[in-house]
Amino acid sequence: MIVADLGYGDAGKGTVVDWLCSHAGSREPVQAVVRFNGGAQAAHNVVLPDGRQHTFAQFGSGTMRGVPTYLSRYVVVDPLALSAEAAHLVSIGVRDPYGLVSVDREALVATPYHVAAGRRRELARGADRHGSCGMGVGETMAFALARPELAPRAGDCARPRVLAGKLRAVREALGVGGPPVEDCVAAYGAFASAVALTDDGHLPRLLRRGPVVFEGAQGVLLDERHGFHPYTTWSTTTFGNALDLLAGVGAARLGVLRTYTTRHGPGPLVTEDPTLELPERHNGTGPWQGAFRLGHFDAVAHRYALEAAGGCDGLALTHLDALVSRMCVGYEGGAPAVLEARVEEERALARQGALAARLLRERPVYGEPVTDWPAAVSEALGVPVVLGSWGATSRDKRLLTETGPHLSSGRAA
């Protein structure tokens, strides 16, 4: 099963993955949760029925169920942030969280120097800030594209001399301060000793053992190619990376949506409604992303995301307990042609930027009030809603079709 968000993020991927890893969501024990994009900027909130809660960033959202995490080569790994996350997991009763983590040696590493450079860049934009998460993920990706031979990777953490040379080069090239290189080398060495560093053969071995869940980060409407530039992420947020990792192995694709559309920080949100007052226990204004914004369900934007992602097999619809009833079915100016036509594989940033500018001026057209959200969303998007969520825990979810997103042995299901 591949899980991806068909909005701007924050739709509930973590709680859906937790359900998939629970007894209710799987007929067999899940072998691993594979992270296939993003990095430490992810924030997937999971609440267990016993009240324990954790915001997952790099660990997979099945960790509190004892399910191992595999950080693939498409993840930007931050060993220091991972350490802080592991400490919180220990505090809520997860024994030896590092023992549950394997990391591809080719995964890029975000350092304090990337973080400092990324924050400096965002601050320099002033009123035109893009909504960075402030975790250095974009800066890490940009540096790796410009200087691939100097980009630190997870495998380098086990090679102190190589790592030290790369860290010095990164700090000098970015022109930032930060902790001494020697301190980073020591911390990253401890990380390399605590996790299992793996190669390309690791995922096939996991797949042979049984079901695997692929957990995406952020949302398709923030995708580096298909999102609305410049309010995007340096990451492929569609199902694409997971499908590349699977290399032809079959997998069901599950898109996640709320009954209302949300966004962190600046950028288009056509249906934004400041009068909406909905409880957000785990979301709020952040120092880097900006405000958490609420809007009504935007079927136009979500159809675009579905097309950009190449379609999916089913939808998980969260926040069915929210008191909302409005669905945007069109825009006053007419849906831009790009939102109606088949999405191309690659798009020019200038074209996506022009689209963003237009969406910032658009106004929504609403249909009749919605009384049956699963039926309305299924009809609007042409994909069945197979899983519904009426609350934060796995007990608040239930399958809505006889052939829902159960996992089957020996596949990514």
Bind-site residues for Mg(2+): 10
All residues at 6 or more sequence positions from 401 whose CB lies less than 8 Å from its CB, including other chains: 314, 384, 386
How far is it, in rounded angstroms, from Cα 386 to Cα 400? 5
Q: How many residues does the chain have?
A: 413
Binding residues: 10, 147, 218, 233, 319-321, 389-391
| Token code pair at residue 114 | 């990337």
Closest by CA position to 297, among listed 12, 4, 5, 7: 7
The one-character DSSP state at 344 is: P
Binding residues for GTP: 319-321, 389-391
How far is it, in rounded angstroms, from Cα 161 to Cα 150? 13
How far is it, in rounded angstroms, from Cα 300 to Cα 305? 9
How far is it, in rounded angstroms, from Cα 116 to Cα 174? 9
How far is it, in rounded angstroms, from Cα 19 to Cα 396? 9
How far is it, in rounded angstroms, from Cα 171 to Cα 157? 16
Q: Is 16 helix (H, G, I), strand (E, B) or coil?
A: helix
- HSE-up of residue 143 (Cα within 13 Å, Cβ side): 29
Cβ atoms 101, 56 nearer than 8 A: no
Neighbours of 51 (CB within 10 A): 8
- Return the sign of the alpha-carbon dihedral for residues 292, 296, 297, 299: negative
Catalytic residues: 10, 44
- 410 — alpha (psi -120 to 50), left (phi > 0) or beta? left
